Amino acid sequence: MSYRVYRVEYQVAVPDPDMPSPRYHNVIFVETGADGSGISHQVVGDLVTGMSYQSERDEAPQTSGTFHARHYLGTINESDYPARMDEVLEELPPPGKQKSFNTQTMRTEQHKMPGVFYAPGEPRPPMIKCTEWTINQAIPALIESGVLRT
Residues 120-137 have pLDDT tens digits of: 999 999 999 999 999 999
Q: Is residue 31 part of a domain?
A: yes
What's the structural domain count of the chain? 1
CA angle 60, 141, 49 (to 5 degrees): 75
Q: Is residue 58 part of a domain?
A: yes
Q: How far apart are CA 23 and CA 16, in angstroms?
A: 9
Contacts of 134 (CB under 8 A, 6+ apart): 7, 26, 27, 28, 42, 43
Closest CA to 25 of 64, 80, 82: 64
Q: How far apart are CA 104 and CA 107, in angstroms?
A: 8
- Report how far apart, in Å, the C-alpha atoms of 16 and of each of 5, 59, 95 are: 28, 26, 15
Q: How far apart are CA 109 and CA 118, in angstroms?
A: 8
Q: Is residue 96 part of a domain?
A: yes
The burial of 91, by beta-carbon neighbours within 10 Å (0-12 exposed, 13-18 middle, 19 or more buried), is given as: exposed
Q: How far apart are CA 58 and CA 60, in angstroms?
A: 7
Q: Is residue 62 part of a domain?
A: yes
pLDDT of residue 139: 98
Q: Is residue 114 part of a domain?
A: yes
Asked if the model's pLDDT at residue 114 lies above 90, the reply is no
Q: Is residue 150 part of a domain?
A: no
Q: How far apart are CA 69 and CA 34, in angstroms?
A: 20
pLDDT of residue 78: 97
Across the range 46-72, mean pLDDT stands at: 97
Q: Is residue 124 part of a domain?
A: yes
Which percentage of the chain shows pLDDT scores above 90? 91
Asked if the model's pLDDT at residue 21 lies above 90, the reply is no
Q: What's the whole-model pTM score?
A: 0.94
The residue segments making up the domain with residue 33 are: 2-145
**Contact criterion met (CB below 8 Å) for 70 and 6:** yes
